[in-house]
Copies of this chain bind each other. A is one copy, B any other.
Amino acid sequence: MIDFTLKKQAADSNARLGTLKTEYGTFATPMFMPVGTLANVKTLTSLELKELGSAIILANTYHLWLRPGVDVIFAAGGLHKFMNYQGPILTDSGGYQVFSLAKPKDITEEGVKFKSHIDGQQLFLTPEKAIAIQNKLGADIIMSFDECPPFPVSYDYMNDSVARTLRWAQRGKKVHKNEKQALFGIVQGGEFGKLRKYSAIETVKIGFDGYAIGGVSVGEDKKIMYQMIDDCIDYLPKEKIRYLMGVGEPIDILEAVKRGVDIFDCVLPTRLARHANAFTLKGRINLKNAQYQNDFNVLETGCDCYTCQSGYSKAYIRHLFVCNETLGGRLLTIHNLRFLLRLMTDIQKAIAEDKFLTFYNNFIKNYN
């Protein structure tokens, strides 16, 4: 079971400093979780994750349910052993992937019928089944099964959906068997402030070990995302950890930390890396750009990641991408994850030193 301690509440904002203790390790929050969709943070070994300073990773229940199947992972002794990773793991409920990848037509009170995005096989996921699968996978933190409606939907649809997700959360909690695992509830409600508030209050009433805010990545206008956080975060208990799902843009992380969020996950740093994009303090750069052909400098001077420290140049990384060499994506994955993980420890330090807003302003001023 996990143990969250709120160490400090910033004076200049709602930013918080905390500690999360798990069976597989303790880490400070705010923290970012790299995504290991298929029980692997793409291109990296467990050793590299450790060297990067990765504190906790996320794996996807939906993907692992399909491949290799929950029985294989259970037979291996659980997810940690299967993937040879001795750090904390969070599994999502499968809900997000079911709604985004499998695009179900059949959502009932009982659960969701959909087709596998791999072979079209007819599948059925219920709140109970999502918990049962996660119990067998054995992550440190597991998530309630929720509906993630597309954006936008009508108020009436979202109203029904929020009520259904609350009933699903209750059913999931009832069957949660593995006492070693923490179970989180998820706040939904789209861009409707009233529903976000209602969802938060009612989810807290059910009672979970932590609370997530879902369904916030809804397009280009980031103000909507920030508003969604504002609409519900004050109704989440201060002594519990708060998780903003699917957010990994540096500025969005800063905005959410300012509002009181503790943990994040997103495929962004790893996916951008495989598409030749690197984070820098001035913003993203695309290594496929011809301007880097003869640029023999590292991605960012002063960066403490393996890629930059050992001297890999932009020209060389560009060459690897031009030639489809997977080392290119790997070198950028290391850099991008380290960039975000260093950002998180910088944020922690700034909160500890009562300088969060100054840090926030400086970062945003430079980052385009």
Please give the residue numbers on chain A whose beta carbons come within 8 Å of chain B beta carbons, in ascending order. 38-40, 42-47, 67-68, 72, 75-77, 81-84, 293-294, 296, 306, 310-313, 315-316, 318-320, 322-323, 325-327, 329-331
Contact = CB atoms under 8 A, between A and B. Distances in A.
Contact of A316 (B84, B294, B330): B84
Contacts of A322: 67-68
A46 B310 CA distance: 9
A293 B71 CA distance: 11
A75 B312 contact: no
A76 B45 contact: no
Nearest to A38: B323
A294 B75 contact: yes
Q: Which A-B residue pairs are the 8 nearest by beta carbons?
A: A68-B319, A326-B326, A38-B323, A84-B311, A40-B325, A84-B312, A76-B296, A40-B327
Contacts of A320: 38, 40
Contact of A45 (B40, B81, B310): B310
A322 B67 CA distance: 8
A34 to B, nearest CB: 13
Nearest to A76: B296
A44 B316 contact: no
A38 B325 contact: yes
B45 A327 contact: yes
B45 A315 contact: no
B294 A327 contact: no
A42 B324 CA distance: 10
A11 to B, nearest CB: 44
A38 B67 CA distance: 33
A59 to B, nearest CB: 12
B319 A38 contact: yes
A82 to B, nearest CB: 6
A315 B84 contact: no
A174 to B, nearest CB: 32
A322 B66 CA distance: 11
Contacts of A315: 68, 72, 76, 82
A39 B319 contact: yes
Nearest to A86: B311
Given A47-B310, A315-B82, A319-B39, A72 B294 contact: yes
A83 B316 CA distance: 6
A320 to B, nearest CB: 6
A326 B68 contact: no
- Which residue, A67, A81, A294, A325, has most C-beta atoms of chain B within 10 A? A325
Given A68-B319, A82-B313, 6 more contacts: A42-B326, A43-B327, A82-B315, A84-B311, A84-B316, A326-B329
